[in-house]
Amino acid sequence: MSGPNNEYDPVQVTPLGAAEVEAMRDDALAAIAAASDLDALKHVRTEHAGDRSPLGLANREIGALPPAARKEVGARVGQARGAVNQAIAARQAELDTEAEERMLAEETVDVTLPWDRTPRGARHPITTGSERIADVFVAMGWEVAEGPLVEAEWLNFDALNLGPNHPARTMQDTFWTEPAENAIVLRTHTSPVQARTMLTREPPIYVVCPGRVFRTDEYDATHSPMFHQVEGLVVDEGITMAQLKGSLDHFAQAMFGEGIVTRFRPSYFPFTEPSAEVDLVCFVCRGQQPTMASCRTCRGEGWIEWGGCGVVNPRVLTACGVDASKYTGFAFGMGIDRTLMFRHGIADLRSFFEGDVRFTTAFGSEI
């Protein structure tokens, strides 16, 4: 076909009648619907919507029509072309989606394949357990105090009302360093940190001291020459045993859940007077029958021995430079290893120190 025909040619008008245009459109729509893939649709686009398609040719002819006919025919052809283009676009979208779905289906993998290229790491439960305990107290406004493991004898004993001939020194079988006259020991408790804190800070003092300690215990399932303690120390005006109890009840609940409370029994520690041993309501059976009778965690007692506590002996305050007539204090201490053992059902204390990665990784990086 030639270029636009500006001459009026009535003969050629005939094919652009309504029926003809509709037929062209319907042919095109049928072909579009029949296009089964993107290639076929491309072909249909050329055949039915291209410049040389019947509708394309018809569009060209519009210019050659007499002005009176142009408007009507133009609208008719334009509508037909619009419908065809729309149908092509819709079919294109359909086919695109189909093609993408097919491709994605082909790319399916077995997602159960392992990707354990680099074995996982973990922090030690003693570390994470100590941090968790510290956080309970930090949340109450306390601070975390620390001190050296190899410690001056005076700070480990004398300053804490454990004089050289105090019978309690025999209870704490101490690792002494050479030569003995240097008076340096491996600390037997975290209490020297309390002494250091009082010697270097003014009350009010609210500190918690988690850390490593040493005793000359043989190494077995429940004893170790090295283990971990957490101690708390509060020195302020008007401090009472009631506040000690409140702090320990809060600690117990934070670690073992709502409703877990403590019980005090009179005891003896040189650095506290009055002194008490602290028991914890068994967090498994909660001291309630019938489960208590067969409870393995508390061995049917309903209570678990947790640690010791008391009112800081005024002699200790004096040795550490705190005005005992103005301030009172309380202190407590628990075994971290032991706490974790009953909290997690760890049967053998040695598990903590053997370094078997299967033990440590089981606890992940948080407790």
Q: Which of residues 274-293 bind Zn ion (CB under 5 A)?
A: 282, 284-285
In the window 156-185, what residues touch other proteins (CB under 8 A)? 158-159, 161, 163-165, 167-168, 170-171, 175-178, 180-184
CA atoms within a 13 Å half-sphere pointing along the CA-CB vector of 41: 18
- Count of residues binding other proteins (CB under 8 A)? 103
Count other C-beta atoms under 10 Å from residue 1's C-beta.
Answer: 10
Pairing of β 205-214 and β 226-236: antiparallel
Closer of 95 and 261 to other proteins (Cβ):
261
By CB under 8 A, residue 249 contacts other proteins: yes
CA dihedral 134, 313, 273, 278 (to 10 degrees): 10
Q: Which is closer to other proteins, CB of 100 or CB of 220?
A: 220
Residues 341-360 interacting with other proteins (rule: CB under 8 A): 352-357, 360
Binding partner of 78, given other proteins, Zn ion, none, CB within 5-8 angstroms per partner class: none
| Structure-token pair, residue 340 | 């974790």
Compute the least distance from the CB of residue 297 to Zn ion, in Å: 5
Length of the chain: 367
- Site stretch for other proteins (CB under 8 A), options 31-39, 93-101, 147-155, 284-292: 147-155
Least Å distance between CB 299 and other proteins?
12
Considering the rule CB under 8 A, would residue 242 count as an interface residue with other proteins? Answer: yes
Q: Which of 207, 233, 295, 331 binds Zn ion (CB under 5 A)?
A: 295
Question: Does residue 282 belong to the site contacting other proteins (CB under 8 A)?
Answer: no
Applying CB under 8 A, the span of 26-34, 38-46, 64-72, 274-282 interacting with other proteins comes to 274-282
Does 367 sit near Zn ion (CB under 5 A)? no
Which is it for strands 184-186 and 150-152: parallel, antiparallel or unpaired?
Answer: antiparallel
98-137 residues near other proteins, rule: CB under 8 A: 113-124, 126-127, 131, 134
Residues 6+ apart with CB under 8 A from 142: 206, 207, 208, 232
**Nearest-approach distance from CB 222 to other proteins, in angstroms:** 16
Q: Give the tokens for residue 312.
A: 């800081």
Contacts of 112 by beta carbon, 8 Å cutoff, 6+ apart: none
Q: What are phi and psi of 358, to 5 degrees?
A: -65, -35
Q: 276 and 310 in contact (C-beta within 8 Å)?
A: yes
Helix pair angle (125-138, 241-256), 10° resolution? 130
- How many C-beta atoms surround the C-beta of residue 4 within 10 A? 11
* Cβ proximity to other proteins, 104 vs 358, nearer residue: 358
Closer to Zn ion by CB, 200 or 289: give it.
Answer: 289
CA dihedral 342, 343, 349, 352 (to 10 degrees): 180
Return the one option of other proteins, Zn ion, none that residue 365 interacts with (CB less than 5 to 8 A, by type): other proteins
Binding site for Zn ion (CB under 5 A): 282, 284-285, 295, 297-298
